[in-house]
Amino acid sequence: MISRSAHPASPLRAARPARAALLRLVACISLLALAATGCRPRETAVEAARADQTLHLGNGAEPGDLDPHLATAYTEFNILIALGEGLTAIDEATGQAVPAAASSWEVSGDGLRYVFHLRPDARWSNGEPVVAADFLFSFERILRPALGSEYAYMLYPVRGAEDFNTGKTADFTSVGFSAPDARTLVIELASPTPYFLGLVAHQAWFPVHPPTILAHGRIDQRGTAWTRPENFVGNGAYRLAAWTPNARIIVERQPHHHSDPAVGVRRVVFYPTENVPADEAAFRAGQRHVTYDLLPDRIATYRAQSPSPLRVDPLLETLYLRFNTTRKPLDDVRVRRALALAIDREAVATAVLQGSRLPAHHYVPPRTGGFESTARQPHDAEAARALLAEAGFPGGRGFPRLELLMNTDDLNTRILSAIQAMWKRELGVEVALVNQDFRVYLDSMKGLRYDIARARWIGDYDDPNTYLDMFLTGGGNNQTGWSSPAYDRFIARAAATADPAARFALFQEAEALLLAEAPIAPVVFGARVHLVHPDVEGWQPSLLGVRRYQTLRIAR
């Protein structure tokens, strides 16, 4: 009898242990490979951008609108400057007007007639040519009373523009625009306007694509679908590729623009966030090239680094408070002046903002277009208390509890909390801080649904008029309810005055009246305090805070 163990093993049975060992080895190698892959740091957005030339930008609040004739916020213009362009653009380094949709122009000797010659290669993002008639359509649109554009007044230097916008005439041919041919646009002014070439670079002067506007509604209809990514047609260097509300807006280089598509960043991703620390954290994590802002208590940390991504750039800006003069007790100039005089602007600038901004005792920033304000709104707590007592509220007794409106923002909270404490300490006045989403906040300001509101103004062009003509009676950006015929006359006379010294003298009178009647209280002058990654090439200080993205590049 032969024992079972004496039988030779079959080839199949002999292979099983070897195969199992091999499978175990392969599994171990695979696990090691997976572990290695899992431990490898993932590529950041900034690192990936070196290959695909994508610029990642923090952009503050969510845009309220991307219609250039309805947008009003600086954060909106940051995006619109990629999607469209006016007859001119502003050179970042000099602040001066340079050719854009127009390649050249002539100005008459009396400064009243401008002839712009459109680029022969000017194209919309759908490839159609940009012609002079497109500009005529666009100018009529923004001036149509039914559109209700807050920025329609930007076209008022043009002969007849104000009459058309205010409904005094319904005949657009009476306005000083004409197009002798498809490439020529003639603009006739009511009076010489020394800043006009810079003015026409503003978004209010951007053309819109007539067929697109009319495909989605009337010429003067608000809130149509034309600004959705699938519908948007613009004449800028980029096209609107995606818009995810409160997450990101993506623009991509479009091939029909007259600039060289091979030069500059190919794509820009805008991240709307009012959370300043979160924006900084994204920068540190390699998810942003540029932050929108930086909290003051972080400045010292970055200044201690070498090299530092910190940039504190000059900016033509004033942060101020608006008083709703249609509501009691703010309809009393003594109350407004008391609140304005009780603000210690030096303390805000140094203690709160760590010296990153300058205190603002007047409204027009220093050296705006060569203008230096002489009027002042000083810090004088004793005079403030006397004015409040004279108005019937000695020591703040009987003063109603007011609300101070602001958009949700860490920096706003810090500044306004300090002012809230000053009013309590110096005047015995209680003011509650109220936060609103940026879109809601803008609507509240426009509808005068507030008591006091935080505001900021970045100049649209480098001239004092960009600040002072805001507060004309009924002005789209007045938003205080304040009206002064004397003030209106000063601004109107300045607009009609060619002599620079005489013009500035009228502006001095106007600002003195504005500060004396105090529908506003300036707090600090601006600066662009932000972080810029060293990969971003060409990012230079811009006095007006805007830049053309096709001039930037990501280092490889």
How would DSSP label each residue in 199-215?
A: HTTSGGG----HHHHHH
- 314-528: CATH architecture: Roll (3.10)
Query: For the chain, how many helices (H) and strands (E)?
Result: 17, 18
Whether residue 78 contacts residue 546, with contact meaning beta carbons closer than 8 Å, is answered with yes
Whether residue 45 contacts residue 415, with contact meaning beta carbons closer than 8 Å, is answered with no
Angle at 214 between CA 210 and CA 216, to 5 degrees: 125
Angle at 461 between CA 521 and CA 314, to 5 degrees: 70
Cβ atoms < 10 Å from Cβ of 470: 21
Nearest to 100 by CA among 24, 31, 198: 198
Q: 115: helix, coil or strand?
A: strand
Q: What is the pLDDT of residue 408?
A: 80
Length of the chain: 556
Q: What is the pLDDT of residue 17?
A: 43
Plot region of 448 (φ>0 → left; ψ -120 to 50 → alpha; else → beta) = left
Q: What is the pLDDT of residue 94?
A: 84
Residue written as token pair 């007045």: 478
Token code pair at residue 527 = 């600066």
Angle at 197 between CA 185 and CA 316, to 5 degrees: 145
Q: Is the dihedral of CA 48, 53, 58, 64 positive or negative?
A: negative
Q: What is the pLDDT of residue 407?
A: 87
Q: What is the pLDDT of residue 510?
A: 98
Query: Measured between alpha carbons, how far is 231 from 229 in angstroms, rounded to an integer?
Result: 5
Contacts with 285 (C-beta within 8 Å, 6 or more apart), sequence order: 44
Nearest to 245 by CA among 439, 380, 435, 73: 439
Domains of the chain, residue spans: 54-275+532-554, 314-528
Q: What is the pLDDT of residue 25?
A: 43
Whole-number Cα distances in Å, 388 to 270, 378, 383, 517: 46, 16, 9, 14
Element (H, E) at 473: none
Cβ atoms < 10 Å from Cβ of 17: 9
Q: What is the pLDDT of residue 73?
A: 87
Query: Measured between alpha carbons, how far is 241 from 415 in angstroms, rounded to an integer?
Result: 37
Q: What's the CATH fold of domain 54-275+532-554?
A: D-Maltodextrin-Binding Protein; domain 2 (3.40.190)
Q: What is the pLDDT of residue 261?
A: 82
Strands 102-107 vs 238-244: parallel, antiparallel or unpaired: unpaired
| List of the chain residues with pLDDT < 70 | 1-41
